Amino acid sequence: MPKPVILSEQHVESIEKILDELRAKTRATYVFLADISGQLIDARGSLGSTDIVALAALSAGNMAATAEMARRIGEAQSFRLMFHEGEKSNIYLSQVGASFLLAVVFEALVPIGLVRLFSKRAVDELQTLATEYEGIVSQTPTMMESGFSTALDDALDALLPKKEETHRDRIIIR
């Protein structure tokens, strides 16, 4: 299993503070932080009906694809930022260290320079946080209570119910 990313309550609050400030200063519609495997870490702002989880996965995919583009044109590192311009909304993506990405979704009226300036500041702050983060991981207590496994089975049975066992097509091999 890849190295887990475990964020303490304190970390989440620090991230929220950085994202809230970035959003306020850039007058963005919303901002979010994700890791490069596509997991959404936090989102702040007016999401409306946006499926932010899917958007985070797509942003990470986008970042990964452009990293490969960077490599192929001879860049030693991946691109630090990406900007997609739309008619009404824009999205500005910045890389945060090697493992995370920061996205700002904002209306076309907001000057890009503002987003660029405050994104850079937020990236620096998030990077400092990522450095501190290493020390806190080991303090995380074991989080799964006894009985978790049975409760998980019940939840799985409810969400993915077992079909009638009579279907002749299905044979489960042990």
Q: Which residues bind another protein (CB under 8 A)?
A: 1-2, 4-9, 11-13, 35-39, 41-42, 51, 53-54, 57-58, 61, 64-65, 68, 140, 142-145, 147-149, 151-153, 155-156, 159-163, 167, 169-174
Nearer to another protein, 73 or 172 (CB): 172
Phi, psi of 156 (to 5 degrees): -65, -40
CB of 158 to another protein, least distance (A): 8
Q: Residue 93: is it exposed, middle or buried by C-beta count within 10 angstroms (0-12/13-18/19+)? A: buried
Per the CB < 8 A criterion, the answer to whether 118 and 26 are in contact is yes
CB of 30 to another protein, least distance (A): 16
SS3 for 43? strand
Tokens linked to 39: 């997991």
CB of 16 to another protein, least distance (A): 9
Which residues, 6 or more positions from 76, have their beta carbon under 8 angstroms from its beta carbon? none
Residue 37: Cβ within 10 Å count:
11
Tokens linked to 170: 């299905």
CB of 109 to another protein, least distance (A): 28
Nearer to another protein, 109 or 159 (CB): 159
Nearer to another protein, 6 or 24 (CB): 6
